[in-house]
Amino acid sequence: MEKRYIEDLLNKLNKDYNFNLKYSNNFRMAFSHSSYTNEKRIAKHLNYERLEFLGDAVVELTTSEFLFKKFPNLAEGELTKLRASIVCEKTLVKYALQLNLDKCIFLGKGEEKMGGRSRAALLADIFESFTGAMYLEAGLETVKTFLSNTLFTEVDSFEYLSFVDYKTILQEYVSKIKLGVIEYTVLDSSGPSHLKTFTSAVIIDGKQYGSGTAKTKKESEQLSAKAALEKLDYKEI
């Protein structure tokens, strides 16, 4: 049953991203838990752990490169915090479940009965071991495409706005091109106090250049600054 789920997974990735992944010993190993290899008397080193070791390094490298290129204005400390927010157990488990990796795991009978298939730490490790197997089978560019459509999409979340100061970037850019004075104004606020939303606009030299809606005034201003930078065709965000 697990083999069929792995094959279904690979076929879906092949269809979605034009990959050419095929079921192999590496992919089988990526999903083989030690309880299964022990039960089947398979060599100890043929469980998922070696590929998890490799996949951990591959995920960290590709995430670091992605963030380095996407956020040229972030300092080393900010990049490190952002990477840690993305490559964490919570997000790895989220995408492991989205991809149905839990169904692909070869488990021993005892581990299965104890609910090992839904254990967060294991699911996070399996995401990385699967990535490690993909790296060996198809190379780094395939891994980058895979992560760009899974893990890296986390960067689009509002919670990461705090890592990029669009207001400061806009101020520096507007000053550089001598466009005029920047002002921010709240266009609307609505909802109960615990679920309030704010819509802010950025005004440059009397003209509105962007607006944004978020759960806080600060975030809405950041979004309006981001929209203004896009309108001004600023290339470094």
User: Active-site positions?
Assistant: 56, 128
Query: Does the annotation place 125 within a ligand binding site?
Result: yes
Q: Rounded to an integer, what distance in angstroms lies between the CA atom of residue 180 and that of residue 184?
A: 13
User: Contact at 8 Å (CB) between 37 and 47?
Assistant: yes
Q: How many CA atoms lie within 13 A of 14 on its CB side?
A: 11
Query: Does the annotation place 7 within a ligand binding site?
Result: no
Burial of residue 157 (CB within 10 Å: 0-12, 13-18, 19+) is exposed
Q: What share of the chain is helix, strand, coil (3-state, %, to 5)?
A: 65, 10, 25
Helix 76-86 / helix 49-70 crossing angle, nearest 10 deg: 130
Any idea what the Cα angle at residue 93 is, between residues 68 and 84, rounded to 5°?
30
Two structure tokens written together for 177: 């091109």
Query: Does the annotation place 16 within a ligand binding site?
Result: no
Known binding positions for Mg(2+): 52, 125, 128
